[in-house]
Amino acid sequence: MNMGAKLPIWARGMFAALVALGGIGCGARSELWTPEPEARDCEPLRVGFFGNPGAYDTLQFQQWLTIGGAVVTRVQTAPDEAVALEALEPFDVVVLDWLVRDYSAEEAATLAEWVAAGNGLISMTGWNNDILNDWRPNSLLAPLGVAYSGPLISGPVTEFEAHPITEGLESVVFEGGYAISEVEGGSGARTPIAFLAPGGGAQVVVGYAIEAGSGRAFVWGDEWIEFLTTDEPFQPRVWVQAFGWVAPGRCTLLASE
């Protein structure tokens, strides 16, 4: 069956890119398309997006994830939604997008407990050119010991530390994001994996891989990696490898040459 022919024009290129990268599966599984859920040999990845989409349309990004076999839900779009363990239970990975509010220390502790229990977290910033809004993820990241900081900076990012998330990356879009700093009081092993020297100045960290208990987190200083509708090329490898690292054992897009 020629699945690519049934896709909209924007997705056909993504179909080709995903075939080149690999398939959905666990271990050696190589099939990209598994139309019958009961035929899977591992559970599909369940992703919960916190907050609203960023400055550009992310519908195509969510469709790309769905085409790839993930179950995608967007929550925390209203300020009265609380972060509780029962609200996190449906997800394997939470992605912090453009958050609508700051969160309490109790809610941050709940998210950290959930991650440490063996789940995954990916954090991006929204963009409002206002640190009071852009740094809202900091209220949830505090227990992990990292925070967005400094002025707006732009890339691209071309300096990486060897890590499963950065394998094969050469240049990643970074437009109007922030450095990431370590803060006191966090737990877990924090590894800087991506760096940027804005304006040729001092190098700052813009990507962290964190291991906390049995869980993992990937913290990125920008949100342009989720956009398919800008002039910048979409780079599925970042997401393929990030999901594969923070949610091992779930059906994700496995990168291969």
Share of the chain above pLDDT 90, in %: 62
pLDDT, residue 41, reads 61
The angle formed by the CA atoms of residues 40, 93 and 133, to the nearest 5 degrees, is 150
Q: Is residue 184 part of a domain?
A: no
Domain holding 130: CATH number?
3.40.50
Within a domain: 119: yes
189 part of a folded domain: no
**At 191, is the secondary structure helix, strand, or coil?**
strand
**80 located within any domain:** yes
Indicate the pLDDT class of residue 252, thresholds 50, 70 and 90. low
Burial class of residue 43 (count of CB atoms within 10 Å of its CB; 0-12, 13-18, 19+): middle
**With b meaning 16 or more CB within 10 Å and e meaning fewer, what string describes 46-59?**
bbbbbbebbbbebe
pLDDT 10s digits, 46-63: 999 999 887 677 788 888
pLDDT over 80 at 13, yes or no: no
Three-state DSSP at 52 gives strand
What pLDDT does residue 215 have? 97
| pTM of the full structure | 0.84
Residue 187, domain member (yes or no): no
Residue 110 belongs to what domain range? 3-179+195-253
Is 231 part of a structural domain of the chain? yes
For 19-28, the pLDDT digits (tens) are 333 333 333 2
Is residue 92 in a domain?
Answer: yes
In 3-state terms, what secondary structure has residue 242? Answer: helix
Q: What's the pLDDT at 35?
A: 34
The pLDDT tens digits of the residues spanning 73-123 come to 999 999 999 999 999 999 999 999 999 999 999 999 999 999 999 999 999
CB atoms within 10 A of CB 213: 15
Residue 185 in domain? no
Work out how many domains the chain is built from and give that number: 1
